[in-house]
Amino acid sequence: MTRDLYPLRRVPAVLLVAALAALALDAASPQQSIDLSGDQQVLAFRSAPARRVDVVRGGGYFPVIARLRDGSIAAIVRGGGAHVGVAGRLDLVLSRDDGETWSRPATVVDSPWDDRNPAFGVADDGSLVVAYVVFRDYRPNGTLASKRRDGIHVVRSRDSGRTWEEGPRVDLFPSGLVSPFGKMLNLDGGVLMMTFYAGDDFFHASPSGRPGVERGMSWYPFAYVIRSRDGGRTWGDMSLIAPGFDEVALLRMRDGRIAAALRSHDRGDTSISFSGDQGRTWSRPKRVASDREHPADLVELADGRLLVIHGERNRPMGVQAMVSHDGGATWDDKSKLMLSWLAPNIDCGYPSSLVRRDARILTIYYQVDDSAKTPESASCKAVIWDVPKQW
């Protein structure tokens, strides 16, 4: 007997956003309900208006989205190589119609090595800022020998991505294990904030028995924020979010708090933490998602609802969303929206979202259709969707 390593999640109610490519739904559909009972499981299917478009074909890993000063939308994605591979580079794609159509990828960084793991933001002067790391330690057969990196690299563009200039490398990490992640955050006074995780315990926060760096390819991370006061040219003034977490998404909320969605390094779930002092100190992370539900992004709606949009690596794999009606104190994990559910393997997810001018949500994500054919079978997609009023 074979055992399914990624069983269908037992969810009492899952709201499916209608955008199946086969159905091409683009308008509100009558509510339909199909109950599939058995093994204490009921799935209630309900459609809602949505539309799905291609952003990148043949790549598009790890997308990070941002709105530019001219109103257009840009995303940084990984191209050139597979999930891991020396051919990896970073590309930029643009949309001037709120995510309906996208430009062809334009190269941002393409060194002889594996350029990867982007963070992306727009400084107060309009400059585009991209941070990333480089994997150099590859064997002749193309496999990765170690995850050591030479710090965080930073490039900036003052002409909306047409040209890029390299800034000083952030070289603060004796462990050689570090990576930025996700959207950069604009704070008061022109401060740009970025999250990163590293194997270095700068604040002596290591839990008992857990060293900062472990043997072999496995390592124990610490999640931090770091700041720039010159438009992303230089970085410093570090603060700890929490030990034991890696990929972190940030959101500046209307009430002045900063919310963080953190990926647990051990379980691959998602937790939420808040800061009321501009990221200096953080609440204890509270788990809000199950194992293999990561990484996550955060969106705040005009009506005050807070959304966590996360990758789903349990079947059906793809991207899901859940809502909080009380500013993140509690989360409704019994009535999730399923934004994408057709990924055939765990090489998928990494959603990045924003609210469009028409109040619809634009979420971009990636998936790999055939693990034996990468990056050819990889793609970055966008789903444009309405948040149900009664959700």
Of 52, 42, 58, 27, nearest to 363 (Cα)? 52
pLDDT tens-digit map of 346-374: 999 999 999 999 999 999 999 999 999 99
Place 17 in a pLDDT band, splitting at 50, 70 and 90.
very low
What mean pLDDT comes out for the span 202-225?
82
240: left (phi over 0), alpha (psi -120 to 50) or beta: beta
pLDDT at 283: 98
The domains located in the chain, with CATH, are 13-385 (2.120.10.10)
State the pTM of this model.
0.90
Indicate the range of 21-35, 122-136, 238-252, 330-344 predicted with least confidence. 21-35
Q: In what order do the strands lie in the sheet with 286-287?
A: 245-252, 258-264, 270-275, 286-287
pLDDT tens-digit map of 156-171: 999 999 999 999 999 9
**Summary mean pLDDT of the chain:** 89
pLDDT tens-digit map of 34-50: 444 456 656 556 677 89
Of 250, 225, 222, 223, nearest to 236 (Cα)? 225
Rg (CA), the chain: 20
What mean pLDDT comes out for the span 76-97?
98
**Quick check: 242 and 275 in contact, CB under 8 A?**
no
